[in-house]
């Protein structure tokens, strides 16, 4: 009761004393703190679980344990999701995009903590996924629910959701620019001063809190021992193309694997298949265990051969061909390990797998070139590993700026900005040739539910079908005579009359213009029936179609009004082009205001 009274006082104070924009800035500050604390909690839980497991077993000398711990992690996660959470919390960034497009930026309250618990169990036990997408979902949920608590409008709620996502990325990576750019590239509609300032406040606040817990050092300790040379640009471009193709393979394979897992309805069947694939792959290739950040650190420190530790390839680590085969197989099988983790019941994202793939790809590319060239022209393998990280992340997420700034901030490799830009741009351009949508938005794009930076498509996505369907049309039956039809016309303000059978199935329509020449002649009242004077519409709208599909039908038919029916043909109402245009203008103005 005391809490409720305090909250009501806060709402009154906000209405009377506080400027709306100032209040949004204050909320963005609070969201930044909350998102960063959530990121710190997730990191702590993963570390505790991982350390506890290692304290009971010497994993390096007992590889057989790799067969059990990751499987146990996704099994426990699946139980938590099904028995406690009872909601789909996988694919965090995709869920955010769906909330923006179809739920007015509303995310359920349990998402402020459920992804933290489930992903910490999945990753702590060795699941081959990352913690970043779950924490982005958590941060977005914090922003969404805080906005709903203070009754902000839908446009502001969208902004606060973005603040949570930006703060989450900034807090977990200690990368404020990357957090801001990620939100603008992947989630937000437009870049305006109104949106940038709250996002910037959330990002900076989150990083400051992260500094308090983990210090100001970059997440990966990278010492650049060789500066970039202009004559290496051709190699950088080739690496960018390679990263784009690897990202395409990762995206397509991940999507294919997820579809396969969705064909199994029994969760224990999914777990059995996912656990088997994951455990075998980790047993054969230990670097696939967990997020993969230890492997990235080894590569950036010049100790790439350490990736073979505890593997069947250890004895051949100095053999170029076998070591190359080992690294190639890791690149090929990483997608299967990540998909098996999530498909089997785990919760995790693809940030870390993208960084992992990029580091191995960049290193392997430079290592191969160096093997066949003179030592005087050797490529710096650590630098190319860094470039590979930027390239794969930029291509997988279709976010080149995020890839550039994230890698620079993660490692402190700001002196490599030019090659990072070249690789990210080349990789992004390569994957765009084959795949127009990133890994997060593929499913939403297929159903027309994706918000994009294309303003027309975005506004159509935000329009709700229910809001434009008009239902105040007087219906008639096919056996009705003209005299009865005239009586219906006399009490209607419309000039279209849907013709329905006794089961409300839409059969056609009567247009007032078509009967104007006979409707005032009583001698025809008992001669003509509706079924002889009705016409068929040039097209029909089916409930469930996206607004973009609806507009295509209007363009194809050149109609001004079209009937709406359900999949069984039952009449629902009419949609007019003028109604859509009016709603379009309102949404456009609402979401474009500074």
**Cα–Cα distance between 322 and 327 in angstroms, integer?**
9
**Cα–Cα distance between 202 and 176 in angstroms, integer?**
9
- For the chain, the C-alpha Rg in angstroms (whole number) is 29
Burial of 236 (0-12, 13-18, 19+ CB in 10 A): buried
**Cα–Cα distance between 52 and 381 in angstroms, integer?**
34
Q: Give the pLDDT of residue 460.
A: 47
Q: Give the pLDDT of residue 594.
A: 46
Structure tokens at 131: 């913690």
Q: Give the pLDDT of residue 332.
A: 93
In this structure, what DSSP letter does residue 82 have? I
Domain with CATH 3.10.580.10 in the chain: 458-592
Would you list the DSSP string of 211-233? HHHH-SS-SS-----S---GGGH
**C-alpha distances out from residue 591 to 183, 433, 452, 584, 587, Å:** 16, 31, 13, 11, 6
pTM of the model: 0.76
**Cα–Cα distance between 330 and 312 in angstroms, integer?**
13
pLDDT, block means (10 residues), the chain with 594 residues:
61 62 86 93 90 67 68 90 85 81 82 91 89 90 88 81 92 89 76 77 93 83 73 92 95 90 88 90 87 87 81 78 90 92 88 92 92 76 90 91 88 82 94 86 62 50 65 86 86 85 87 81 82 84 76 79 86 79 54 50
Q: Give the pLDDT of residue 64.
A: 67
Angle at 482 between CA 478 and CA 484, to 5 degrees: 85
Superfamily of domain 230-453, CATH level 4 = Clc chloride channel (1.10.3080.10)
Q: Which CATH architecture has domain 458-592?
A: Roll (3.10)
Q: Give the pLDDT of residue 235.
A: 92
The count of other CB atoms within 10 Å of the CB of residue 260 is: 13
The count of other CB atoms within 10 Å of the CB of residue 216 is: 10
Q: Residue 109's closest CA among 69, 80, 137? A: 137
Residues 336 and 128 sit within 8 Å (Cβ to Cβ): no
Cross-strand pairs, 563: 574
**Cα–Cα distance between 78 and 31 in angstroms, integer?**
29
Q: Residue 42's closest CA among 298, 408, 291, 334? A: 291
The count of other CB atoms within 10 Å of the CB of residue 537 is: 18
Domain with CATH 1.10.3080.10 in the chain: 19-214, 230-453
Residues 179 and 167 sit within 8 Å (Cβ to Cβ): yes
Q: How far is CA 401 from the centre of its chain?
A: 17
Structure tokens at 312: 């069947």
CA dihedral 170, 341, 262, 546 (to 10 degrees): 10
**Which CATH code fits 19-214?**
1.10.3080.10
């Amino acid at each position: 009761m005391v809490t409720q009274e305090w909250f009501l006082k806060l709402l009154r104070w906000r209405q009377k004393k506080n400027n709306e924009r100032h209040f949004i800035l204050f909320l963005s500050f609070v969201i930044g703190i909350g998102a960063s604390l959530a990121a710190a909690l997730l990191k702590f839980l993963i570390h505790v679980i991982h350390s506890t497991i290692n304290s009971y077993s010497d994993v390096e000398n007992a590889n057989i344990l790799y067969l059990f711990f990751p499987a146990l992690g996704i099994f426990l996660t699946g139980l938590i999701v099904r028995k406690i959470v009872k909601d789909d919390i996988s694919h965090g960034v995709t869920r955010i995009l769906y909330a923006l497009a179809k739920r007015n930026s509303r995310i359920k309250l349990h998402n402020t903590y459920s992804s933290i618990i489930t992903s910490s169990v999945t990753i702590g036990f060795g699941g081959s996924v990352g913690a970043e997408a779950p924490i982005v979902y958590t941060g977005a949920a914090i922003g969404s629910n805080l906005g709903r608590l203070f009754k902000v409008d839908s446009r502001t709620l969208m902004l606060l959701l973005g603040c949570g996502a930006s703060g989450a990325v900034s807090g977990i990576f200690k990368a404020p620019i990357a957090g801001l750019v990620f939100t603008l590239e992947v989630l937000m509609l437009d870049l305006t001063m109104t949106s940038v300032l709250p996002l910037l406040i959330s990002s900076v606040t989150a990083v400051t809190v992260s500094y308090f817990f983990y210090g100001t050092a970059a997440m990966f300790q990278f010492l650049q021992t060789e500066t970039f040379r202009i004559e290496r640009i051709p190699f950088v471009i080739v690496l960018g193309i390679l990263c784009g193709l690897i990202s395409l393979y990762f995206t397509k394979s991940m999507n294919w694997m997820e579809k396969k897992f969705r064909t199994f309805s029994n969760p224990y069947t999914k777990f059995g298949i996912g656990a088997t694939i994951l455990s075998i792959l980790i047993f054969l290739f230990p670097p696939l265990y967990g997020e993969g950040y230890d492997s990235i650190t080894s590569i950036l420190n010049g100790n790439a051969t350490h990736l073979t530790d505890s593997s069947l390839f250890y004895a051949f680590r100095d053999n170029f061909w076998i070591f190359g085969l080992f690294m190639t197989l890791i690149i090929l099988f990483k997608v299967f390990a990540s998909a098996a983790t999530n498909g089997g019941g785990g919760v995790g994202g693809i940030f870390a797998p993208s960084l992992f793939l990029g580091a191995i790809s960049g290193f392997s590319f430079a290592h191969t070139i160096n093997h066949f060239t003179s030592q005087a022209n050797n490529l710096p393998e650590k630098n190319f590993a860094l470039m590979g990280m930027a390239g794969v992340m930029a291509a997988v997420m279709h976010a080149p700026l995020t890839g550039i700034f994230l890698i620079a901030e993660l490692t402190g490799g700001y002196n490599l900005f030019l090659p990072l830009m070249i690789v990210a741009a080349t990789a992004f351009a390569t994957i765009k040739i084959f795949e127009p949508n990133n890994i997060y938005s593929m499913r939403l794009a297929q159903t027309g539910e994706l918000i994009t930076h294309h303003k027309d498509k975005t506004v159509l996505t935000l329009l709700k079908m229910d809001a434009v369907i008009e239902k105040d049309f007087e219906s008639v039956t096919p056996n009705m005579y003209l005299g009865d039809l005239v009586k219906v016309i006399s009490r209607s303000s419309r000039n279209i009359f849907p013709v329905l059978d006794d089961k409300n199935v839409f059969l056609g329509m009567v247009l007032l213009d078509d009967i104007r020449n006979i409707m005032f002649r009583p001698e025809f009242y008992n001669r003509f029936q509706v079924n002889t004077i009705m016409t068929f519409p040039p097209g029909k709208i089916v409930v469930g179609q996206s607004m973009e599909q609806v507009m295509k039908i209007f363009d194809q038919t050149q109609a001004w009004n079209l009937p709406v029916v359900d999949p069984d043909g039952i009449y629902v109402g009419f949609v007019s082009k003028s109604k859509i245009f009016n709603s379009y203008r309102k949404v456009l103005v609402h979401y474009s205001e500074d």
